[in-house]
Structure 1
Amino acid sequence: MKAVLFEQFRETPKVVTLPDPTPLPHGVVLRVAATGVCRSDWHGWMGHDGDITLPHVPGHELAGVVEAVGRDVTRWKVGDAVTVPFICGCGDCGECRAGHQQVCLHQQQPGFTHWGSFADYVAIHQADLNLVALPHGMDFATAASLGCRFATSFRAVIDQGRVSAGQWLAVHGCGGVGLSAVMIAAAAGANVIGVDLDPAKLALARDFGAVAVVDGREADIPGAIRDITRGGAHVSLDALGHPVTMTNSILCLRPRGKHIQVGLMLGEHAAPAIPMPRIVGQEIEILGSHGMQAHRYGAMLDMVASGRLDPARLVGDRIALADAPAALMAMDRFRSVGATVITRF
């Protein structure tokens, strides 16, 4: 198969020919039809993720068609169109048995714990637990964008933030995760404020349902949000993953508000200073949000089917596998608008 491979962290990846994968007894092999290029992939390429063993094939946002099925798989057959959460549960640990596969104690992540989807084929573990059937008519590029950014935002807004109609939600960083959160929260009836440095992304945030936007170059972003909301946001998301956006997210909240950390904070940002006096004095909640379980996709896909959510609008550039190395290395520059998806192999 053709695949994007890097043999050392921070060195330019190459498109090479590698052996095709074979399914484990409980797994499947998918023919990749589309796969997103995500900043998490960039973190992996930089060496920020300790699970990666070199040489490595990145890629964790994917959709495709079942190509081969392990002998113990009962729910899937060759030819099924599917997607998969970027976190695959083991099915046996206490968290999986409780339905919390997104924090599985023995989780597998394509593109991190094993070779990923920047390739013609990718192996997926525990297929009966982790695969999600694609709704009829959903294109593969849209489906690929669900696996990390959109599904992660859905869980952050709906399950962790428990955002309700009439509440104020601030979204710090209007890339793929942030714009997904804007759309989902607006569909839930929240008043959404988008924050970003890029005017084009702020314009998209308005298009996706934000009632207000704040230019990230403002000197006092938390103050601007408190003014708009007349006291602070009920819920605020750091969709980027940076000490500045994290701090702004916490400081823009009203008393007893919720900060949801969605963006990864790795490498030099792994241990940021947190404004603890405000957290204690105003009883601020801090919650993480890490992907979403396969069994929760139904609620999200129902909203897509009803027309309340339109993840297809989040798909930006569609590129070829040959363009993936350059796109991956450029992810820290935040120049893309919407999700960049590899659709040509």
Structure 2
Amino acid sequence: MGALKSLAEDYAIIDTAFLQFCASRGIFSVEDFLIHDMYTLMASTEKLSNSDRLKQGINQLLLITETYHQPWMNGLVLLEDREQNKHYLPTGSESFDVLLQGGLREGHVTELVGPSSSGKTQVCFQIASNVALKKGNVVFFDSGNSFSPTRIKQMVTHISGLKENKANEALQQAMRNIECHAVFDMYALLDVLHQLKLNLKSQIGYEIRLIIIDSISSLIAPILGGSNAQGHALMVSVGYLLKELADRHNIAVVVTNHMVGGEGGNLKPALGESWKNIPHVRLQLSCNHATNNYAVCILRHPYMASGKSANFMIP
């Protein structure tokens, strides 16, 4: 792809200040950029007055390079990959798993949408508990200080069905398998995701079964603001990064999204049309608080018909 300055005409964020920042670190071409440590590069912007804009430039350049370097694969290769490498992660709820024909698909980004108090965070806790209990590593991104070790403990104890002395051992193992990151803006999320990507590439034996972001909408919404092109570019960038991590490393990714008012006062998932096509699977949650019964409905799925639903309980 050549010199970075050749991209300046098409991408406003790659301006003189960004090119000078890169040049000061020996980055003059796309090739220089690709071999640079992204975590170090992001960190080096922190003390600069234009830190946010430089981070936007780095993420824009990552998106550009990922778009240009997608591997070519024929249909047979894709089919073999799906059949041999992509499996299901049970959610811990039998009816939920029956609806999804086994659970959450590895290699897919699954979005849980629903209004406030519909059970999105509780479902995330249950899925994380079930995967961690079965010795799978979980990375949990908490954007609202909602992660509750106490709630995880209750769920692990319930799911395991073990007596107290053995349940304690299972609990400790499950809690060790959950890595929680508090992230309060899009840039913090991207920083950790890029570091995660590097770790998965470079560390032999480093495996992750599940990534959860609760909630993706609270991180993305503040940067959109009307026709903010950079905000939309960052949103698409994080979406493609999640899909890449899911597909290349056979990870199930779960993100939560709130709902907003649409036409006729009907609720619809937030983040708009640009985000709508990022998740492979979109599930809507609801809760009857009088009976504490939850429901899940398929809004979109690559293999299943929309509209199918199931009721389930959360311990």
TM-score, length basis structure 1 = 0.29
Find the structure with the greater CA-based Rg. 2
Higher percent of residues as strand: 1
Higher percent of residues as helix: 2
Q: Highest relative contact order (Cα 8 Å, sep 6+), 1 or 2?
A: 2
TM-score, length basis structure 2 = 0.31
